[in-house]
Amino acid sequence: MRAVRNFLCWMFALGAILFLRSTLYAVLDIASWPEAHLPSTFLKATVHTALPLLGVLYAVACWTFWMGKPSARPWGLAASAANSLLGCTFLYMDRRFLTAPATAFLNPDALLLGVGIAGLIAFRRRDAVQAEHLMQPLPGDNTNAIVNRLIWVAGTGGFLSAMTWWWRWAESNDLVWIRNSFFHDLLLLLLLEILMVAVHEFGHAAAAFAFGMRLRAFIVGPFQWRMREGHWEFRFVLAGFLAIGGATAVAPTDPNRPLWRDICMVAAGPFVSLAAGLAALALTLGAPGQPWQAEWLPLAFFTSLSLLTAVLNLIPFRTKAFYSDGARILQLLSRGPWADLHRAFSTAAATTVTLLRPRDYDIDAILRAGSSISIGQQALHLRLLASSYYLDCGRISEASRALAEAESVYQESASDIPAELHTPFIFGKAFLQHDPEGTRLWWERMQAKHPTRHNADYWIARSAFLWSEHRLDEARQAWETGNALVQQLPHTGAYETDRDHFALLQKELQLSPVAG
């Protein structure tokens, strides 16, 4: 439901831009409407009044949602009700709907009605919005709160302006676009957007390969490839169509590589997007009189998306899920806590493809970054890395203290973590702190997330939880299941550490009649 609300928010932003610029007036085209019972002058005055009012409604709904205001829910419901009302009105006025109601779902007006109904459902809960607004920028991350919220509005406005220019250019060159069905055209645009994202992420991946890094994940919209426990897995996530984006995750084989390699890898995405956009631009401008002139609109669409992606990605901004390439480049160049953060995370990733272990982490960089980054999931990850480092070094009390700091960050600003990230807390509360109540609390938190991956991490967490509950027979059975899985993992530092954790817990299960 969260993905639906985020998608609807962007639809509100798009609607605000369209209505406030009065571009929808051309779509309505009052002169082409069927005869109405209301006087023409009254009808036109109503439309001219409704356009700015709807624009303001959508703009306020979008703004309150992004700002996490308590009033975002009623405004979201009001904007969704407006979508439903407009969809019903347009369907009623469409003669095709009156003559062939069985095919009404193929009408774009029906899509507008569906979006409105989806919004009424998505915003019905009173707590639907407050926990989902954009997180505040963290100190020193080279982003600005206003830019973070306006970047997408600027991008949408830029794209609409670009496409308006392309339509005028096409008219001046006597180019036409032969329309197919609405859903055919919509599918074509979605495929072009996915292609644009794939080209951008390919730039990151190609640069990573060139510098000897290992690809760990490649995500393009709903298509997700991830390296998990030594094997590639593919998932198709339908929600990826609601906010098409991408990501490329890599693991370095040399943690002491020059900084310029990381910067080049990050900059390669916008560079390839720019190159692809310029190539498409040349094809589009040269389309008149060429065999591909009938495809001028898809080329113009791809051109606009690629060039905007290249430019906007170089602007430092932050969303709830990621940083732009420009922000990441500035963080790497800053050589401050955020550069230490990137070094810490890249070294942790290197343990999955090399023999490096948590005890090889740069603990000084982790502590420096953690002293400045105290909120959010980055702060939580840093403290978990510190706990892993100390545990691998045999410094149990310090590992326990770092875990307690991670738990404090979780409670204050990072409670929305995936199910698999609960496992180090469960193991740590049981093994490091001997806290049965805390272990049960974290186990229940993980179960509330409905974990689907019952891998070695899951089973060691379950075994530690059962051990803390004095259920030793069940704990041993869980340990045996997990141990069989962990022995099959690749021989890299991260998985050797997992095998060591199983050995530590095995020792406790054999020697201790009860936990603690």
Q: Which amino acid type is present at position 434?
A: H
Within 8 A by CB and 6+ apart from 18, the residues are 24, 55, 160
* Predicted confidence (pLDDT) at residue 17 exceeds the cutoff of 80: no
Which ranges in the chain are annotated with CATH 1.25.40? 339-511
- How far is Cα 334 from Cα 329, in angstroms, rounded to an integer? 9
* Mean pLDDT, all residues of the chain: 84
CB 232 within 8 A of CB 259: no
pLDDT of residue 503: 94
pLDDT of residue 13: 74
pLDDT of residue 82: 86
Within 8 A by CB and 6+ apart from 281, the residues are 303, 307
> For the packed helices 182-210 and 259-285, what is the interaxial angle rounded to 10 degrees?
140
CB 84 within 8 A of CB 98: no
Q: DSSP letter at 126? A: T
Q: DSSP letter at 359? A: G
pLDDT of residue 94: 63
pLDDT of residue 45: 57
| Phi/psi at 219 (5° precision) | -125, 130
Select 339-511's CATH number: 1.20.120, 1.25.40, 2.60.40, 2.40.50: 1.25.40
User: Residue 225 is encoded by which pair of tokens?
Assistant: 């490839």
pLDDT of residue 135: 45
SS (H, E, C) 100-117: CHHHHHHCHHHHHHHHHH
pLDDT of residue 61: 85
Average pLDDT over residues 502-511: 87
Burial 58-78 (b: 16+ CB within 10 A, else e): bbbbbbbbbeeeeebbebbbb
pLDDT digits (tens, 9 = 90+) for 287-318: 999 999 988 999 999 999 999 999 999 999 98
User: Residue 432 is encoded by which pair of tokens?
Assistant: 């490091």
- How far is Cα 377 from Cα 345, in angstroms, rounded to an integer? 12
CB 235 within 8 A of CB 224: yes
Q: How far is CA 40 from CA 33, 36, 164, 350, 469, in A?
A: 11, 8, 29, 70, 77
